[in-house]
Amino acid sequence: MTVSAPRPGPARAAPCPHACPHACPRARPSRQPLVPDVVAAKPPVYGPSKLLDIELEMAFFVGPGNRLGEPIPISKAQEHIFGMVLMNDWSARDIQRWEYVPLGPFLGKSFATTISPWVVPMEALMPFVVPNPEQDPKPLPYLCHDQPYTFDIKLSVALRGEGMSQGVPICKSNFKHMYWTMLQQLTHHSVNGCNLRPGDLLASGTISGPEPDSFGSMLELSWRGTQPIELGIGQTRRFLQDGDEVIITGHCQGDGYRVGFGHCTGKVLPALPPA
């Protein structure tokens, strides 16, 4: 099943309307930055984001929805999850830093979201289910479930700069590192009566593992920009440059077969001039 133009879920930016299997271009966003060399008494400076980043995520599509005002109990949550895709939740860290106090990310997250071209139904992923992570402290009762709903999905992020013949892996992670299960995410999202509808897309959050090379963002990989990420042939990155192409891949490995999601790919273009 391919996705052409799914309706974006609550508080999510719209995915690429083409579900591109190739590099979908993204213009670098502009912003009012909060940077160390800007004196507090001076006004902020408008211009292109200098700290453009990726976030390795996965997301799931809602199947059947729920009525407004009727929460989905965790015992029924699985019935409302149709399938999964790879996601790059692009982030402009300087915009995010400027606006997250006191209201939280807005322009730092809303400019782009890329998903992979194939929706893999949960039935195809159930052979790769693994035990849920131990949660301490124990969640409140409405979020507790014994059903295994964590999945062994191998994930990789590669970066290809302009002039590079192929992408260089910068991250290898796994969906099983997620602390909260999708059942808990969906249940919590609806606990206040929020109505989910077929086609809503809910993202996992950054998927970072325990090792340094499994961190799911350049912010983490570069230790907040203090350490370069080596790409070889004399190139390094701390954050994304114009012309960089990000390729996210993921698969489940079975006995003699593989379940994949296609490539989740996007390329950074220069910022557009002010309107």
Q: Is 32 annotated as a binding residue?
A: no
The secondary structure of residue 77, as a DSSP letter, is G
Nearest Cα to Cα of residue 92 among 274, 271, 273, 236: 271
Helix (H, G, I), strand (E, B) or coil at 230: strand
What's the rounded Cα separation, in Å, for the pair 175 and 177? 5
Q: Is 200 annotated as a binding residue?
A: no
Q: Is 100 annotated as a binding residue?
A: yes
Q: Is 113 annotated as a binding residue?
A: yes
Nearest Cα to Cα of residue 115 among 92, 136, 139, 90: 90
Q: Is 206 annotated as a binding residue?
A: yes
What's the rounded Cα separation, in Å, for the pair 56 and 114? 10
Q: Could you check whether the bond before residue 210 is cis, i.e. omega within 30 degrees of 0? A: no
Inter-residue contact 155 to 56 (CB < 8 Å): yes
Which residues does 133 contact at the CB level (< 8 Å), separation at least 6?
A: 150, 176, 178, 179
Annotated binding site: 55, 57, 89, 96, 100, 109, 113, 206
Which positions make up the binding site for Mg(2+)? 89, 109, 113
Binding-site members for substrate are: 96, 100, 206
Binding-site residues for Ca(2+), please?
Answer: 55, 57, 89
